[in-house]
Amino acid sequence: MATTTEVQAPVLQAIFSVCATPEVNDATLEATDGMPGAEFAGEFQEYITAERRPQFSALLRNAPSTIAVVDCDRNPEMALLTIERLQQIFNGRIHMIAVSARVEADYLLRAMRAGCNEFLPKPLTGVEMGEAIRRFQAGHIGSKGPQSLGRIISFCGVKGGVGATTLAVHLAMHLTVTHGKRVLLVDYKHELGHVALHLGIRDNIYSINDLVRNVDRLDADLLAGFVTRHKSGMDVLPSPDTCAKAHEDSREALERVMDYLKRRYDFILLDSSMRYGASLQTLMAASEEVALISTPDLPALRDLARHVEHMNAMTDLTSKLRVVINRSTSEDAVSSAQIESSVRCPISLAVPNNFGQLLEAVNVGEPIAPSVRSPFTQSMAQWAARLATEAPLEAPAGAAKKFRFFSFWN
């Protein structure tokens, strides 16, 4: 007898509660039980403020839309601060439902000003909560569809001088100019990165380090003040233009910054380095692809093989690796087949050598325009077209419903 496998609908709305009574949580669970696309992720047992930073699960960070149910009765003033704080964290892309046994006109007005979208009186039933969720779905999901998330592509040169920055800059140009994508190019070097030089950007003040340090204040206005808008239309976060001591960013802060950027851009291209540490591991874990850039010479290929071997030991990175051979020619001493056999990883792209023209481009701070016809630009156009035509990231499929308590970062 044939059997059928139940296909679980993707999560379109991740729902969580804050300081809710058991009755409110039960009503929310009842409302989401059997509702397609809705998943009750769990609760925070304390109010959320700038001092008490929430540790969001992957489901809450990546869901196309999020609903927070805030119970105001334990501390009405802290509840208002929580509503305001959540709106800042999610950049306004969260639906706030406040519940309370007391519905006073003055407090209701203050809640709405803080960012509350709907106010439900207690006692609350599952039917009433379900109707509130469906109202949100009708006004947002049905008309606009679920919000897609941007993709993070990390560029790592297996050694210095292989052209990782050059490729990151030109891929960003093609995605922006040819495909009209919202692109952020990040020079993730602790000092003296070259992205700004390639793009002719001078007197840059801010870097990704400033976003990480100000993650608790991060919103659209702060981001706009930190990035540099290139004339092509891409946004850029250069590296510091001074010598500086290497440091490790907070894993939690870096994760929050990357999650936020994925909601603002179609693509975030990270020009990074192969200095292994907590920051690199965090960036690679957040990336959808990790481009390992090499040239077809023995020293670079030796390093490529070692890095591939190391990264394959990190099982969660194996599927993300993309080997790119830069400055490839028909006269290379080592063939593509020999490289693949040696490093035990397929070559995703071989970029033709165009060293002279690219050197001239960086010297004048003008990348080669996508409209210029050459083997190099054709190769970059092929890379950009693959990324631009792939489907955006989908919401993760929901796991079996279960109740969870969330925690806070110390």
User: Quick one: pLDDT at residue 92?
Assistant: 67
User: Quick one: pLDDT at residue 315?
Assistant: 63
CATH number at residue 55: 3.40.50.2300
Residues 141 and 206 in one domain: no
Residues 164 and 47 in one domain: no
What is the reported pTM?
0.66
Phi, psi of 190 (to 5 degrees): -75, -15
94: nearest Cα among 41, 40, 15, 182? 15
User: Quick one: pLDDT at residue 215?
Assistant: 84
Mean pLDDT over 20-30 rounds to 94
CB 31 within 8 A of CB 67: no
Mean pLDDT over 177-196 rounds to 92
User: Quick one: pLDDT at residue 398?
Assistant: 41
pLDDT one-digit tens code per residue, 215-245: 877 877 788 889 999 999 999 999 988 887 7
Q: Give Rg (Cα) of the chain.
A: 24
- Angstrom distance (rounded) from CA 147 to CA 142: 11
Residues 31 and 158 in one domain: no
- Angstrom distance (rounded) from CA 307 to CA 324: 13
Residues 134 and 163 in one domain: no
What does DSSP say about strands 235-237 and 228-229: parallel, antiparallel, or unpaired?
antiparallel
Residue 156, SS3 per DSSP: strand
Task: Give Cα 32 distance to the centre of its chain.
Answer: 27
Would you say residue 339 has pLDDT above 80? yes
Residues 54 and 119 in one domain: yes
CB 239 within 8 A of CB 192: yes
User: Quick one: pLDDT at residue 393?
Assistant: 55
Beta bridge partners of 290: 154, 321
Residue 403 domain-assigned (yes or no): yes
Phi, psi of 385 (to 5 degrees): -65, -40
pLDDT band of 397, cuts 50, 70, 90 = very low
Residue 2 domain-assigned (yes or no): no
- Angstrom distance (rounded) from CA 329 to CA 205: 39
Residues 375 and 335 in one domain: yes
User: Quick one: pLDDT at residue 5?
Assistant: 39
Mean pLDDT over 19-35 rounds to 92
CATH number at residue 235: 3.40.50.300
Would you say residue 146 has pLDDT above 50? no
Residues 400 and 372 in one domain: no
pLDDT band of 405, cuts 50, 70, 90 = low
Residues 275 and 139 in one domain: no
Residue 94, SS3 per DSSP: coil
Q: Using omega within 30 degrees of 0 as the cis cutoff, is the peptide bond preceding 123 cis?
A: yes
Residues 327 and 178 in one domain: yes
pLDDT band of 36, cuts 50, 70, 90 = confident
User: Quick one: pLDDT at residue 257?
Assistant: 92
**Number of other CB atoms surrounding residue 134 within 10 Å:** 15
Which range has the worst mean pLDDT, 175-179, 210-214, 299-303? Answer: 210-214
Would you say residue 276 has pLDDT above 70? no
Q: Is 66 exposed, middle or buried (0-12, 13-18, 19+ CB in 10 A)?
A: buried
- Angstrom distance (rounded) from CA 47 to CA 216: 16
Give me the number of domains the chain comprises.
2
Residue 375 domain-assigned (yes or no): yes
**Which residue's structure tokens are 């919202």?**
182
pLDDT band of 142, cuts 50, 70, 90 = very low
User: Quick one: pLDDT at residue 401?
Assistant: 43
Structural tokens at position 305: 């093989």
User: Quick one: pLDDT at residue 396?
Assistant: 43
- Angstrom distance (rounded) from CA 35 to CA 43: 19
- Angstrom distance (rounded) from CA 371 to CA 314: 39
CB 74 within 8 A of CB 48: no
Q: Is 102 exposed, middle or buried (0-12, 13-18, 19+ CB in 10 A)?
A: exposed
Under 8 Å CB-to-CB from 120, ≥6 apart: which residues? 97, 98, 99, 128, 129, 132
Residue 4 domain-assigned (yes or no): no
Mean pLDDT over 87-93 rounds to 76
Under 8 Å CB-to-CB from 388, ≥6 apart: which residues? 175, 178, 179, 181
CB 239 within 8 A of CB 190: yes
69: nearest Cα among 110, 124, 106, 107? 124
Residue 8 domain-assigned (yes or no): no
pLDDT band of 87, cuts 50, 70, 90 = confident
Residue 1 domain-assigned (yes or no): no
Residue 166 domain-assigned (yes or no): yes
228: nearest Cα among 256, 194, 202? 202
Q: For residue 134, what are the domain limits?
A: 13-147+394-409
Mean pLDDT over 95-118 rounds to 89
Residues 156 and 143 in one domain: no
Residues counted in the chain = 410
pLDDT band of 82, cuts 50, 70, 90 = very high
Residue 80, SS3 per DSSP: helix
Residues 279 and 303 in one domain: yes
Residue 5 domain-assigned (yes or no): no
Structural tokens at position 383: 């890379």
Would you say residue 190 has pLDDT above 90? no
pLDDT band of 50, cuts 50, 70, 90 = confident
Residue 331, SS3 per DSSP: coil
- Angstrom distance (rounded) from CA 227 to CA 131: 41
Q: What is the mean pLDDT of the chain?
A: 86
Residues 160 and 303 in one domain: yes
